[in-house]
Amino acid sequence: MTIDAIVANMDPVWNANQVSGKSQTRSYTPALERFLQDVRAKGFPLLLMSDMKSADLNRAIHEQLGEEGINYFSSILPSEAAPDLRYAMALHTLGTQADRIVAVGVSQHHQDEARDSGITRWVHLADVLSSDDSVLSDKA
């Protein structure tokens, strides 16, 4: 099955800055950048979904990835964007079918929410950040 797009919730990466301070947060940077560059190299649109408010999310992305970090994402749905409908909104925004999307998340709730919207391929964020190999192959 072909992948057309990725929907990702990376809140633990962004929240680490608020909890632990910048020095701890920067430890995510190499793995996060590797993932984001892999997504970009494969040409996948990447929709970032978050439970954070827009201003906090924007600040966290800037602190983690620098001024141009926001450019890795084709779309962003912050917490204000209808939490009950966000995967449906993601599908509409990305303009692709649920069976052609990979969801990256951090909890069983995220996985259940994605499945309720028809997205059956789900990868845990920890696997994405710890893998040297791409977890975003057509086998995902």
| pLDDT at 17 exceeding the cut of 60 | no
Share of the chain above pLDDT 90, in %: 44
Q: Which tens digit of pLDDT belongs to each residue from 65-103?
A: 888 899 999 999 887 666 678 888 899 999 999 999 999
Give residue 133's region: left, alpha or beta (phi > 0; psi -120 to 50): beta
Cα–Cα distance measured from residue 122 to residue 84, given in angstroms and rounded to the nearest whole number: 18
Q: How far apart, in whole angstroms, are the C-alpha atoms of residue 2 and residue 6?
A: 12
Distance CA 54, CA 75 (A): 12
Q: What is the pLDDT of residue 109?
A: 86
Chain Cα centroid distance, residue 54: 15
CA dihedral 31, 125, 71, 80 (to 10 degrees): -150
Domains detected in the chain: 5-130 (3.40.50.1000)
3-class secondary-structure state, position 37: helix
